[in-house]
Amino acid sequence: MADTDDAAAAGTVPQRGPVPAEAFPATDADCAGFAAALGLPGYLDVHVHFLPERLQQAVWAYFDRLGDPPWPVAYRDDEPTRLATLRELGVVAHPALAYAHRAGVAAWCNQHTLALADAHDQVLPTFTFYPEDGVEADVDAAIDRGARVAKVHLQVGRFHPDDPALDRVWPRLVEAGVTVVIHASAVYGVEGGADYCGPDGIARLLARFPGLTLVVAHLGAPDPDAAFVTLAEDRPELYLDTAMVLTEPAYLEAPGTEPPGRAARLAALAHDGKLLFGSDFPTIPHPYAAQVRGMAQLELDAAGLRKLLHDSAQALLRP
């Protein structure tokens, strides 16, 4: 990106020292301009969901029932509107994350997400899988269509990452260079499933399948001991995404309750290309700008923000 410094210098983002909080977007209308001021073509958001319509409505109905805290869906629009909203926010590329919550759902989800990628250049070809009969054929079919991002949700799907039914799937993903966005923590809003989550299962998976590339969603939070951060520091093939955790104002974590020293460690991971920007759009209870603005707490300079918001994901996902 030869023109990065010149482009950013034309905006309001300082190029030396931490970018101050007041330079970050106050509203959604400011998001695209902030990316441009950094010298970026836009954001590469690694945590965006586009579910089949019936499943999307069911997910929104579930979140509507939450009450402590409530979870108002900020971007409850039809699919074309949501795609346009992301473009207006300055998002230049994103996956269409869908996840199978039971057997018999994955192929249906993949038909939707891969068709969306065929129709829209901004959408990265994305698929999901589930430990069931026929999973290898589903994975092969998706890879044959050009898919390079996969999504699995251990808590909702209620399976361990090293489930024997997936023993022949993980090597196939390594061979094809597929990056897996994996929800591996027990988060607010989902009842049960905690027994399938945690860093130990992810560590076992990486030990068994060298070369497998994983992006742990939501920093692995809740993670009071920052064990997922430690794992990302130790394992070159493990990345973290920021979705829903680093927001301003904070939503899921009360200020001061995060693991001590986490922000500095995450900043180091960002500079190393191991921390990726994600939003959890569209089912978020705040404006998109709150997720972008939350990156200020990492106290990154412009170069670090360029990596976090776009360049590291571009190098990994090759959009």
Domains of the chain as residue ranges with CATH: 25-317 (3.20.20.140)
Give residue 140's pLDDT: 98
Find how far residue 162's CA is from the centre of its chain: 21
Report the alpha-carbon distance of residue 264 to residue 101 in Å, rounded: 35
Give residue 11's pLDDT: 53
The letter for the amino acid at 151 is K
Give residue 36's pLDDT: 97
**Cβ-based neighbour number of residue 11 at 10 Å:** 17
Which sign does the torsion angle of CA 291, 293, 298, 302 carry? positive
Give residue 282's pLDDT: 98
Give residue 17's pLDDT: 92
**Cβ-based neighbour number of residue 36 at 10 Å:** 17
Q: Tokens at residue 304, please? A: 């670090």
CA dist 23 → 111, 212, 298, 311 (Å): 41, 37, 14, 20
Q: Return all residues near 13 (Cβ < 8 A) that are at least 6 apart.
A: 19, 23, 34, 37, 38, 302, 305
Q: Where are the beta strands (DSSP E) in 147-292?
A: 149-153, 179-183, 213-216, 238-241, 275-276
Give residue 4's pLDDT: 38
Mean pLDDT for each consecutive 10-residue tract of the chain (319 residues)?
Answer: 37 85 97 97 98 97 92 97 98 97 96 98 98 97 97 97 97 98 90 92 96 97 96 97 95 85 97 98 98 98 98 93
